Amino acid sequence: MAGLLEPSGAAGVEGELRVAGEPAGAVRDRIGIVFQDPESQIVMGRAGDDVAFGLENLCLPTESIWPRVAAALDAVGFRHPPERPTDALSGGEQQRLVIAGTLAMRPGLLLLDEPTANLDPEGAAAVRDVLTGIARSGTMTMVIVEHRVGEALPLVDRVLALDVRGELLADGPPTDVFRRHGDALAAAGIWTPDGRLPSPPERSRGVVETQLVADQASYTYPGSVAPALRRTDVQVRSAEALAVTGPNGSGKSTLALLLAGLLRPSLGDVYATEALATGRGHDPLWRWPAHDLVTHVGMVFQDPEHQFLTGSARDELVLGPMRSGVAPRAARRRADELLERLHLDALAEANPFTLSGGEKRRLSVATALATAPEVIVLDEPTFGQDRRTATELLRLLAGLRDDGRAVVFATHDREFVTALADRTLRLPTPEAAPPLEPDR
């Protein structure tokens, strides 16, 4: 619909797609799209310049550009000044920025691909308020792609539900669609407004031992004045799931990278205990060689593409185990088990970069699990998941926790926290001065 792909059909099938009576490619200047991955849409080095970029390409007078930039940034609750470097933004802040840039252009057709998936509750509410105003004004036609439909339904007049093959299951007013087809949609793995994640099965708690310790750990990115993560104390324990929550920009992703040994703390320390690796107690995690790190700690990045290295999904899952010394046959067997468990077996030979956002997320989770680490650190693990795959991911992580692994996950998904977490650490924004809520 944005005119970025040419429509194609199966053999013998013909069709066309038009926007305002024209081929979509002919009216791109009247169409705005917010991609699922906000980072791929940012083109400038400063936040204000990025919002202004589209307006400049529309050849608006200079004096009218910056008031529209300021209004768009304010509308989405962007809390930084226009001079803020875009590479210093968190994933949620990037999402607000690209939404602002799209809204500033005032398109006739607005396309949004999971527009609030990376946002904290406050940011998501701010974006929904903006979209509600647009819907009421009648100035734009909106198409929203969404998994978690409950909070999006007040914004829309019509729902189209697609199955796993992309075929239409239902089409109509929201109330009618979910009243008449709710059970069938839920059975197909689609979130319904009243849908909830099931609780993991009852478990017998294993031995709980501290495996990682963050001691007054803080990190400031190069070139930045304010710390991305203020001084933080936390323990990561076996047979437990620790949820890290907090607003966008509070340092959740940074803490995840520190706990995975992928960043060196600017202040304080992150170290292993003897329970994680004999003879390495109090050894700073960032000093560990990659070979040792990958066999003890697995990391799932917020952007799945940051950890893809090969040309097929199966090869991604074989790479880590073989590099850590697992025999090829055993590595392939482990890969196939994970592909099946996470509903990726039909995509085993697909290039990871061609997968959907939700498929990339599941593959990135599988790559972290392939080396069977004792500690698994995940950044927004449920992003882009339908109900079926989110449920499977919950059961998988709960099973790992019950087997004695330590699971740490940074998330805005409150329902997933309720279903899985044994403890929660909530981080404040770096600008806020109150003390950290203790993990409980």
> What does the domain layout of the chain look like in residue ranges?
18-146, 210-426
Tokens linked to 174 = 């929201």
Distance of CA 343 to the CA centre of its chain: 18
Q: Using CB atoms within 10 A of its CB, is residue 391 exposed (0-12), middle (13-18) or buried (19+)? A: middle
Q: What count of other Cβ atoms lies within 10 Å of the Cβ of residue 246?
A: 21
Can you read off the two tokens belonging to residue 217? 């750990």
Which pTM was predicted?
Answer: 0.79
* pLDDT at residue number 438: 47
Q: Which CATH number fits domain 210-426: 3.30.70.20, 3.40.50.300, 3.40.50.1110, 3.40.50.2020?
A: 3.40.50.300
Question: What pLDDT was estimated at residue 311?
Answer: 93
Averaged pLDDT, groups of 10, the chain, 440 residues long: 78 75 90 89 95 94 94 88 89 88 93 85 82 84 89 90 89 93 88 79 78 95 87 95 92 95 96 91 91 90 88 94 89 93 92 88 90 93 84 88 94 90 88 46
- Equal fold, 18-146 vs 210-426: yes
pLDDT of residue 435: 42
Cα separations in angstroms, 282 against 279, 312, 339, 439: 9, 38, 36, 21
Rounded Cα distance between 72 and 66, Å, is: 10
Helix%, strand%, coil% for the chain, nearest 5:
40, 20, 40
Assigned CATH topology for domain 18-146: Rossmann fold (3.40.50)
* pLDDT at residue 440, as a whole number: 47
Residue pair 396/427 in contact by the 8 Å Cβ criterion: no
Specify the pLDDT at position 382: 87
Start-to-end Cα distance in the chain = 47
